[in-house]
Amino acid sequence: MGPLDLHTAMVLSMCCHFQLTSAWTVNNFLMTGPKAFLTYASSVQVGAQCGIQECKHQFAWEKWNCPESTLQLSTHNGLRSATRETSFVHAISAAGVMYTLTKNCSMGDFDNCGCDDSRIGQTGGKGWIWGGCSDNVALGEKISKQFVDALEDGHDSRAAVNLHNNEAGRLAIKATMRRACKCHGVSGSCSIQTCWMQLADFRDVGNYLKMKHGHAKKLEMDKKPARAGNTADNRGAIAHTFRSIARTELIYLEDSPDYCVKNQSLGLQGTEGRECLKGDKSRSQWERKSCRRLCYECGLRVVQKRIEVVSSCNCKFHWCCTVKCEKCTQVVTKYYCARKEGGRKQHNKAKRRLRARQQ
Ligand SMILES: *[C@@H]1O[C@H](CO)[C@@H](O)[C@H](O)[C@H]1NC(C)=O
Ligand SMILES: *[C@@H]1O[C@H](CO)[C@@H](O)[C@H](O)[C@H]1NC(C)=O
């Protein structure tokens, strides 16, 4: 394994395997959930944060780049919009929770669940039989439903849309699962294989849901909030509208706001101060156009900064099993969106004029 591979491996292993400090609604869960839920609460937290981290990766070079935590999804936060982007947050969070719990299950972290051995020994197809440890998604799915769906306590169309997107996220876990096999037979002849179903990398789940985000459908329906007494009617109307939509597709109700501008009441940061990428042919087209997308399209300019970056380098693998790295300092040029000078000057001039008039 070369130093680069090692570094990549270290970075990749971070998702879904890290400690988190965010206090994501644990308290909610601890207060409302049955005692048994305590067992799963920390995994749920890790999973939700893992979803947000993946969201940040997927939207790194877009105007909107994900909330800091799922806290912002909370019903009690006032951020109850159902846009194309919140549909993604719901899906990836529900998926992250299901994913983490499923991993926990396979690793034997919980007493009451383990690998899915229901088909072991059965013939799966030509030349292979079921064996090994198939990831068992049933528990993760159930717990994800109980924890994540519980955040939707309304009976209005927004709640229904959010629940639909949570479900689409969980289905993404199943849709991206892959069969993995191992060869058997005389001296590796591979005359017979044992196979099992395993979760894809969470990155693949992210890619899959990003594609669904691109194809998300806007739902046209009566957006009146549920009034007391007519929740049954409401549910009926919602169910009718939903009948035509596949469970795997993301849906939304409202057009996206302008992500260029900061809007505190919507919890949006705007793109001022965001980093963008320039030059470098090795980057994707999408990345190379990030300055245009984040800065120019938002009426901002690009400023250049020289920044000293300290990183691990020359990593060596020592048998067995430590990785020793050196610290390397490098000066790199980074680009950021900044307000136009003219804009600010005009702004100041206007302020001065106002002050002069007041005196
Ligand atoms: C489940 O997995 C996550 C991430 O790998 C880990 O942080 C958590 O402690 C695990 N839960 C249990 C109960 O072991
Ligand atoms: C923030 O968004 C709300 C809702 O769309 C809008 O009414 C308000 O004018 C926006 N504020 C700013 C500063 O753009």
Predicted local confidence at residue 231, as pLDDT: 60
DSSP state of 75: G
Instruction: Please tell me whether residues 283 and 325 are part of one structural domain.
Output: yes
Residue 194 lies in a domain: no
Q: Which ligand is nearest to the CA of 258?
A: 2
What is the per-residue pLDDT across 9-63, written as a single tens digit (0 to 9) for each? 333 333 443 333 233 333 333 334 455 667 888 899 899 999 999 999 999 999 9
Q: Indicate whether 319 and 349 sit together in one domain.
A: yes
Residue 268 lies in a domain: no
Whether 190 is in a domain gets the answer no
Distance separating alpha carbons of residues 136 and 199, to the nearest angstrom: 9
Q: Is 253 left (phi over 0), alpha (psi -120 to 50) or beta?
A: alpha
Residue nearest atom 5 of ligand 2, based on CA coordinates: 257
Residue 42 sits in the same domain as residue 105: yes
Q: What is the pLDDT of residue 38?
A: 75
Of all ligands present, the nearest one to the C-alpha of 139 is: 1
Nearest CA to ligand 2 atom 7: 265
How many angstroms separate the Cα of 78 from the Cα of each of 56, 74, 221, 269, 320? Answer: 22, 8, 21, 16, 52
pTM: 0.79
Q: Quick one: 18 and 93 in the same domain?
A: yes
Render pLDDT for 266-284 as a digit per residue (tens, 0 to 9).
888 899 999 999 877 888 8
Residue 102's nearest CA partner among 210, 202, 207, 211 is: 202
Looking at the fold, whether 212 and 292 belong to one and the same domain comes out as no
Question: pLDDT category, 222, cuts 50, 70, 90?
Answer: low
- State how far the Cα of 347 lies from the Cα of 339, in Å rounded to an integer: 11
Q: pLDDT tens for residues 195-216? A: 999 999 999 999 999 999 999 9
263, 296, 312 - which closes a domain? 263
Domain assignment present for residue 188? The answer is no
- Residue from 19, 39, 43, 49 whose mutation best tests the ligand 1 pocket (most atoms within 8 A of CB): 43
Backbone angles phi, psi at 319, to 5 degrees: -75, 125
If 0-12 CB within 10 Å is exposed, 13-18 middle and 19+ buried, where does residue 46 land? buried
Q: Check whether residue 31 and residue 140 sit in a common domain.
A: yes
- Residue 355: per-residue pLDDT: 58
Q: Decide whether any atom of ligand 1 lies within 6 Å of the 109 Cβ.
A: yes
Residue 292's closest CA among 337, 356, 252? 337
**What is the pLDDT, as a whole number, of residue 137?**
94
**Is the model's pLDDT at 122 over the cut of 80?**
yes
Question: Of all residues in the chain, what percent carry a pLDDT higher than 90?
Answer: 46
Helix 202-214 vs helix 84-106: angle between axes, to the nearest 10 degrees? 160
pLDDT above 70 as % of the chain? 77
Out of 54-58, 118-122, 151-155, least confident range: 151-155
Domain containing 353: what range? 275-358
**128-130 sheet: strands from edge to edge:** 123-125, 128-130, 192-198, 178-184
Say yes or no: CB of residue 16 within 6 Å of ligand 1: yes
Residues 23 and 141 in one domain: yes
Same domain for 224 and 308? no
191 falls within a domain: no
Q: Are residues 314 and 258 in the same domain?
A: no
Cβ atoms 85, 162 nearer than 8 A: no
Q: Per-residue pLDDT for 259 more than 50? A: yes
**Beta bridge mates, 332:** 307
Residues 210 and 348 in one domain: no
CATH number at residue 297: 3.30.2460.20
Which residues lie closer than 8 Å to 82 by C-beta, 6 or more apart?
157, 158, 161, 162, 252, 253, 254
Closest residue to atom 4 of ligand 1, CA basis: 17
Number of domains in the chain: 2
End residue of a domain, out of 263, 288, 307: 263
Instruction: State the Cα–Cα distance between residues 182 and 22, nearest whole angstrom.
Output: 40
pLDDT score of 261 more than 60: yes
Q: What is the pLDDT of residue 323?
A: 85
Residue range 110-125: mean pLDDT, rounded: 88
Q: Look at 320 and 135; give whichever has higher pLDDT.
A: 135
Locus of tokens 């017979």: 192
Residues 30 and 94 in one domain: yes
Of 263, 283, 308, the one marking the end of a domain is: 263
Evaluate: CB of 144 within 6 angstroms of ligand 1: no
Residues counted in the chain = 359
Residue type for 87, please?
A: S
Rounded to the nearest angstrom, the distance between the alpha carbon of 263 and the centre of ligand 2 is: 6
Evaluate whether 160 touches 238 at the Cβ level (below 8 Å): yes
Query: What gap in Å lies between CA 197 and CA 287, rounded to an integer?
Result: 34
Residue 70 counted as domain residue: yes
Mean pLDDT calculated for residue range 237-255: 87
17 Cα to the center of ligand 1, angstroms: 7
User: Inter-axis angle of helices 137-148 and 157-175, to 10 degrees?
Assistant: 160
For ligand 1, whether the C-beta of 106 sits within 6 Å is: no
The answer on 154 and 102 residing in a single domain is: yes
Please indicate, yes or no, if residue 296 is contained in any of the structural domains. yes
Q: Is 266 in the pocket of ligand 2 (CB under 6 A)?
A: yes
Which tens digit of pLDDT belongs to each residue from 315-358? 888 877 788 888 999 899 999 999 988 654 444 454 555 555 55
For residue 264 and ligand 2, the question of a CB distance below 6 A is answered with no
Ligand 1 center–CA 178 separation, angstroms: 22
85 CA → ligand 2 middle, Å: 17
What's the 44 CA to ligand 1 centre distance in angstroms? 9
| Amino acid identity, position 274 | R
In a domain, 196, yes or no: no
